[in-house]
Structure 1
Amino acid sequence: MTVYSFYIFDRHAECIYKRRWLPRPVSTSGKASRSNSELPGVNNGVPKSADRPARSADDDAKLVFGTVFSLRNMVRKLGGEDDSFISYRTSQYKLHYYETPTNIKFVMLTDTKSPSMRVALQQIYVNLYVEYVVKNPLSPIEHPGGVGVNNELFEESLEQFVTRVLA
């Protein structure tokens, strides 16, 4: 299983953490794809088209959050409050979603063949985020203006979790 990227959004819809591991594979059909399957589009091996401007990492995070927000709302309207959005898959990637009781949102993009990562995202929240970010007295409670998570122990532990546990 391959993990492409990981995002954390706070309750104010700000991306407080983003990390990319591998570029998403380029379509082998010979033509550039113009779909949303190219979400992490900057510096990831996707050929840039002359008529399509390059996106920054912040734009990618906004696109990911907008996608998750829209799909989550659609699932709640169609299925009721008890239904929840867990993941969706395109031909290029699979997006996994986990939301905590405090409205912190964890999003992971993986290859299409990966199983559900809901338990893994929950483990990242409980064992890494809570331990190294929430319980850290130097870490801010709120992240105004998208200041983000800047914790070396969290980043190292996340790297180990993704490379060893999820590999």
Structure 2
Amino acid sequence: MSVFSFYIFDRHTECIYSKRFAASNNAPPPRGAAGGGIQNGDVPASLRKASKDLDETKLIFGTIFSLRRMARQLGGADDQFLSYRTGEYKLHYFETPTQLKLVMLTSPNVGNMRTVLHQIWATLFVEYVVKSPLAPAEHTGGKGVANELFEGGLERFMEAVFRPQQ
């Protein structure tokens, strides 16, 4: 059992937080299509990585947007999209009452992580980001969550949840 990455999207569809966790021997999280774009050394590596990360967050948000819409159209207004699984990964989704969207990519054998995502939101995000007098109310213009307490708490929480059982 392992977690690959974690994302938080705000109500304006912007990714306000993303975190990749240490790679394991398991398959990596999903990637965009290979090829296209500039492939030579003209673009700095940091700019290529930032562009690749931005493309990945757009793909993930587009996926959850489409699956949520499909679930509502097929099942009615009360149905919710919670997760989906492929052979390589499993995407878990949780939406807060304020339309904050928490997304976690894990290995496919992980069970339902809805309560874990709720705990991250209620105990970490609300406590360290929402209640912080230094944090902005809205994270517009590409300003994401930059809170050391939240970062550290998330690291410790993930280690506790995904600690190998002995």
Ranges in structure 2 where 5+ consecutive residues have no aligned partner = 38-47
Please give the TM-score of this superposition, normalised by the length of structure 2. 0.84
Percent of residue pairs bearing the same amino acid type: 55
Instruction: Describe the superposition over 1:127-160 as per-residue Cα deviations: whole angstroms up to 9, x where unpaired.
Output: 0000000000110000112200000000000000
> 1:44 aligns to what?
none
d(CA) in 2 for partners of 1:130 and 1:68? 23
Q: Deviations over 1:40-63 (max 9, x none)?
A: x6xxxxxx96x4557611111111
Q: Secondary structure at the match of 2:17?
A: strand
Give the Cα–Cα distance (whole angstroms) in 1 for the partners of residues 149 and 98 of structure 2: 22
Structure 1, unmatched stretches of 5+, are: 28-36, 42-47
Contact 2:27 2:89 in 1 (8 A): no
d(CA) in 2 for partners of 1:62, 1:80: 26
2-structure distance, mates of 1:78, 1:22: 37
Give matches, 1:54-93, under 5 Å.
56-93=52-89
Aligned length: 150
Q: Is the 8 A contact 2:93 2:103 kept in 1?
A: yes
Once superposed, what is the RMSD of the aligned Cα atoms?
A: 2.0
What is the alpha-carbon distance in structure 2 between the residues aligned to residue 38 and residue 104 of structure 1?
22
Can you list the C-alpha shifts for 1:92-113, whole angstroms capped at 9, x where unaligned?
Answer: 0000000000000000000000
Aligned to 1:161: 157
Matching of residues 120-139 of structure 1 within 5 Å: 120-139=116-135
